[in-house]
Amino acid sequence: MSKILMKGNEAVAEAAIRAGCRLYFAYPITPQSELIEYMAKMMPKVGGTFIQAESEVAAINMVYGAAGVGKRVMTSSSSPGISLKQEGISYMAGAELPAVIVNVQRGGPGLGDIQPAQGDYFQAVKGGGHGDYQLIVLAPCSVQEFADLASDAFDLADKYRNPVMILADGMLGQMMEPVEFKPAKTQEELEALANQHLSWCICPNADGDAKHHHEINSLELDPEILEKHVNKLYEKYAEIEKNEVRYESYNVSDDNEILCVAWGTAARVVKSAINELAVRGKSIGLVRPITCWPYPYEAIASAIGPKVKKVYVFELNSGQMVEDVKIAVNGKVPVDFWGKLGGIVFTPADIQAKLEACF
């Protein structure tokens, strides 16, 4: 299939539909509005359901209901809206419901602005809602990857019965790039998807021995049983940490004098700076986490070559992922951080200057 020039917001929507998502509930917010608009236009054409919900809170609870009946379902928003969804996300993690949530991040805190930012890392990776739980968090750095991660997100959600967040930003949502889509699910595949969760989801019943009583629920008043339930969740999370860590190693070698760690849009900029400095004989590597949770701790630790003087972390926030990098580096070499705030995206020249100063 040939490539199409598309905005990230539209590409992720198209990819979700191709992955078999037929239910989408959301509320408009900049800079992700093209996503909800694309779904409004396309869902009726594929026999799917689109509802513009009365609020972010209602949208995520519609997702809870649709995931509870075992169907592929998605919602999307931008930072302030994602904050509103945290209640529902915590309930879905507790009830072990598969769903995909897209966050096209913008500047914060509060109403902030509508420029690209990465200030929701902690919220996505360390909790956000109440209680002990984990989201699987995928961070794309191009329109192509934004689209590719949509189908991966649904597969991971279904495999682990866990909500998955795609953590993008206003740059990736608004930017147009050529994108090549995977083929859409066939009718046969769609039917298989619709029936994959019948062992636990809310679905039509049968009489006699086949009768079931499925509960979609996160309430358990007996502390011993609740503890067991949360322990079971953490056994699942350990399994995810074992199997699903993803990252990109860029220019990583034993010659590296600096190792950078950056994710999403920030990593794109860092790559440009690395290329520019490579021409001048400076060897710098980059590890780009694709899964922000589970986090590639070991990959970062083992990417620290013999000549590396410093691990340099660049983010479009005040320093959030850098805490995970410090855990990964574990004191082996110094860890430095530089970031931009307010929805300002640093330039390759900015990063180049920071890196050059290390030599």
Residue nearer to another protein on the CB measure, 212 or 307 = 212
Q: Are strands 258-261 and 284-289 parallel, antiparallel or unpaired?
A: parallel
In the complex, minimum distance from the CB of residue 207 to another protein, in angstroms, rounded to a whole number: 7
Spatial neighbors of 115 by CB under 8 A, at least 6 apart, are 106, 107, 170, 342, 343, 344, 345
Residue nearer to another protein on the CB measure, 16 or 269 = 16
What does the H/E/C string look like for 140-188? CCCHHHHHHHHHHHHHHHHHHCCEEEEEEEHHHHHCEEEECCCCCCCHH
Residue nearer to another protein on the CB measure, 205 or 302 = 205
In the complex, minimum distance from the CB of residue 211 to another protein, in angstroms, rounded to a whole number: 8
Query: Is residue 6 classed as helix, strand or coil in its secondary structure?
Result: strand
Residue nearer to another protein on the CB measure, 85 or 106 = 85
The Cα 166–Cα 281 span in angstroms is 36
CB atoms within 10 A of CB 302: 13
Both tokens of residue 4? 């199409």
Residue nearer to another protein on the CB measure, 26 or 240 = 26
Burial class (CB in 10 A: 0-12, 13-18, 19+), 127: middle
In the complex, minimum distance from the CB of residue 198 to another protein, in angstroms, rounded to a whole number: 11
The Cα 207–Cα 331 span in angstroms is 62
List residues binding another protein (CB under 8 A): 23, 25, 49, 51, 53-55, 57-59, 61-71, 73, 87-88, 91, 95, 202-207, 212-219
Residue nearer to another protein on the CB measure, 207 or 331 = 207
Across 107-122, b (16+ Cβ under 10 Å) vs e yields bbeeebbbbbbbbbbe
The Cα 34–Cα 21 span in angstroms is 17
Query: Is residue 329 classed as helix, strand or coil in its secondary structure?
Result: helix
In the complex, minimum distance from the CB of residue 68 to another protein, in angstroms, rounded to a whole number: 5
Residue nearer to another protein on the CB measure, 100 or 292 = 100
